[in-house]
């Protein structure tokens, strides 16, 4: 396996690479992660079952699109493929450090700059990808309200029903989305798609970086909303973002709607108390 990965890295980079050193590192709850090195160059490698190669292909494409905006730092994708029973994704290795207020403010500014990257294709993406291990449907759609209603919340509620979840106000919520988003007409923005604290940080040199994306073109507010979902980013981040690309009126109500997507996904992945949290959010949205 490693011989095949080394050969692929050599082919793509044009520099002979032999991974003389390999060590296991955190790869999240879905993948195995390794740091591999020839003593001079180091790469980060994610491994999974060969059947999951499309997930890595989508992640590589998302990182490549974000990297090519020349805005916020992401790990540069090197190559991905399959070998035997495994699939792999090779990324640039970044030494991570701890950030300060200046770092977080710069992260906000650079994310705002990335969000200005748009497309004429509407809302969606080149392919379906995953949010966690859940399929994320990215069919191109000209209308944001329709896209979010059908391919974000609507799809999650389909999965909820298969899991046996109880969401008595689900249909009321889906019917209310056109009213909730009636005065909101966002441009399609290149979004990270899964921007919580575990997917953001900074390098040892203090450069802000984001990783593990669930990329698509959507309302930029979905990224900002998720940064607030699990404890929030430092205040400097939001200050930096607003300097470059201020949020529009009505964000507070939309924030809860957008974050419901992730809480429903957590219920579909993990069950438990996410059902009651999602139901509380639905009630809050409908009565706000």
What's the average pLDDT block by block, 10 residues per block, for the chain (288 residues)? 97 96 82 95 96 96 98 97 97 92 96 98 97 96 98 97 94 97 96 96 94 97 97 95 96 96 96 94 94
Question: How many residues in the chain?
Answer: 288
Which of 194, 212, 219, 223 is an active site residue? 194
Task: Give the span between the Cα atoms of 71 and 240, in whole angstroms.
Answer: 14
Domain 96-287 has CATH 3.90.1200.10: yes
pTM of the model: 0.95
pLDDT of residue 99: 84
Please choose, from the candidates 200, 160, 165, 192, the residue with its C-alpha nearest in 3D space to the C-alpha of residue 258: 192
Please choose, from the candidates 171, 262, 280, 277, the residue with its C-alpha nearest in 3D space to the C-alpha of residue 223: 262
The partner residues of 162 in beta bridges, in order of sequence, read none
pLDDT of residue 277: 97
Task: Give the span between the Cα atoms of 146 and 150, in whole angstroms.
Answer: 6
Domain ranges for the chain, please list them: 1-92, 96-287
Which ranges in 132-273 belong to alpha helices (H)? Answer: 144-147, 155-163, 170-180, 221-227, 235-244, 251-270
Give the CATH number of domain 1-92.
Answer: 3.30.200.20
8 Å CB contact between 128 and 135: yes
pLDDT of residue 27: 60
Q: Which helix (H) or strand (E) holds 45?
A: strand 42-49
Known catalytic residue: 194? yes
Intrachain domains 1-92 and 96-287 with the same fold: no
pLDDT of residue 74: 97
Both tokens of 270, joined, read 């993990």
């Amino acid at each position: 396996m490693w011989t095949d990965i080394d050969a692929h890295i050599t082919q793509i980079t044009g520099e002979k690479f032999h991974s003389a050193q390999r060590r296991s590192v955190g790869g999240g709850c879905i993948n195995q992660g390794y740091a591999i090195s020839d003593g001079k160059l180091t790469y980060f490698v994610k491994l999974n079952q060969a059947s999951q190669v499309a997930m890595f292909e989508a992640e590589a494409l998302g990182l490549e699109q974000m990297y090519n905006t020349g805005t916020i730092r992401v790990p540069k994708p090197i190559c991905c493929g399959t070998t035997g029973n495994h699939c792999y994704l090779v990324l640039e290795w970044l030494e991570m450090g701890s950030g300060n207020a200046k770092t977080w403010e710069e992260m906000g500014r650079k994310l705002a700059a990335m969000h200005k990257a748009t497309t004429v294709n509407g809302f969606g993406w080149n392919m379906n990808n995953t949010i966690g291990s859940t399929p994320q449907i990215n069919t191109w759609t000209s209308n944001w309200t329709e896209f979010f209603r059908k391919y974000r919340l609507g799809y999650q509620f389909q999965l909820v029903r298969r899991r046996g979840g109880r969401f008595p106000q689900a249909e009321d919520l889906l019917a209310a989305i056109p009213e909730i988003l009636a005065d909101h007409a966002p441009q399609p923005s290149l979004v990270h798609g899964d921007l919580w604290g575990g997917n953001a940080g900074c390098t040892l040199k203090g450069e802000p970086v984001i990783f593990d994306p669930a990329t698509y073109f959507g309302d930029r507010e979905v990224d900002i909303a998720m940064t607030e979902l699990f404890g929030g980013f430092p205040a400097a981040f939001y200050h930096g973002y607003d300097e470059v690309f201020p949020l529009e009126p009505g964000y507070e109500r939309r924030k809860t709607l957008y974050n419901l997507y992730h809480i429903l996904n957590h219920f579909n992945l993990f069950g438990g108390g996410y059902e009651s949290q999602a139901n509380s959010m639905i009630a809050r949205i409908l009565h706000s």
